[in-house]
Amino acid sequence: MLRTVPLPVRRTAALLLAPVLLLTACGASTAGRQDEDKATGAGYPRTVGNCGHRVTLKSAPQRVVSLDQGTTEILLSLGLADRMAGTATWTDPVMKGLQKANASVPRLADNNPSFEKVLDAAPDFVTASFVSTLGKGGVATREQFEKLGVPAYVSPSDCAAGKDNDSGGDGSRGEPLTLDAVYGEIRDLAHATGVDARGEKLVARLKERVRTATDGLDASGVSLMYWFANSESPYLAGCCGAPGAITRAVGAENVFSDTHDEWPQINWETVADRDPDVIVLGDLTRKSQTAESAEAKIRFLETNAATRNLTAVKKKRYVLLSGQAMNPSLRTVEGIEQVAAGLRELGLAR
């Protein structure tokens, strides 16, 4: 019934464990972080445990290149625009409130830049949201950057929760991702760049936003389906990625919670069998797949023979999210807010 095609849609077109810097999910311990702080004090070098690697910065980075929108928006939210030498791989407009800061940072490419283009920016620290960005077929491997003395960091959300990035497509997860991985990434990047206090303040704000959005919310019994992109073979959310974190936060159900693939491609006949109460639509501005924008998705749903009789379509029960909110990132909090508000507006949550 579920058909997965090995095409990493988000990677080619185009952050959730404990409140510590070294993430247990990625092979480091709280005790290790405390010992490290004691040994190095507040200065450098600083080492961050990251997805089985140890990323060491000899001094505070001054020319950071972020290879994905997710890490870009964290760095901008930490007030580090003046220390960024470039960004790349965008699915959406920059997060509200960051437009001015983002405008001062060179965009190296809308999608993956070449290795040479990144090196031309003379980076002293490179960040990415996905293992595939810093792997074979991506911009370059972590090792290629490190051989040139450039430390490279990847979002822990792409290795946490039993994430298997070699299982095809966008990978699969053995257990549900939680927002703690996003909070861990924020703390990692704040520590790496020497702005730890800013990181703690940002995490506190995000946690308060989640509490406010979900306070008193009861959406039990409501089924959701998340559609990222592609109309012919749609990429729909499995159980355990960012959409899973959103769904659990609002207390609803994902109609495809029975697959651990991150973004499986599932045929419309199967969607019709599941008949979700609400469809959460990715409203993307990139142009690499079919049905990127929410407008295009709705047009397809309401005219296609296999989808026009879906309950959510007939009752126009749509909730629109940015692509970044549907990826593990600080904007997953935005996703929780918008889905919670949408369910209340639709009269499906108390």
Give residue limits of the domains in the chain: 9-212, 216-345
The answer to whether 11 and 155 are in contact (CB under 8 A) is no
* pLDDT tens digits for range 145-160: 999 999 999 999 999 9
216-345 shares the fold of 9-212? yes
What CATH number should be reported for the domain whose range is 9-212?
3.40.50.1980
Peptide bond into 45 cis (omega under 30): yes
Residue type, 317: R
* pLDDT tens digits for range 296-334: 999 999 999 999 999 999 999 999 999 999 999 999 999
| Residue 24 pLDDT grade (very low, low, confident, very high; cuts 50, 70, 90) | very low
Determine the Cα–Cα distance for residues 239 and 328; give it in Å rounded to an integer. 13
The answer to whether 279 and 311 are in contact (CB under 8 A) is no
pLDDT(38) > 90: no
* pLDDT tens digits for range 195-235: 999 999 999 999 999 999 999 999 999 999 999 999 999 99
In the block, tokens 């979002």 appear at: 155
pLDDT for residue 39: 33
Determine the Cα–Cα distance for residues 205 and 130; give it in Å rounded to an integer. 25
What CATH number should be reported for the domain whose range is 216-345?
3.40.50.1980
Mean pLDDT score, 123-143: 96
Determine the Cα–Cα distance for residues 41 and 23; give it in Å rounded to an integer. 20
* pLDDT tens digits for range 249-298: 999 999 999 999 999 999 999 999 999 999 999 999 988 899 999 999 99
**Cα-trace Rg, the chain:** 20
pLDDT for residue 4: 35
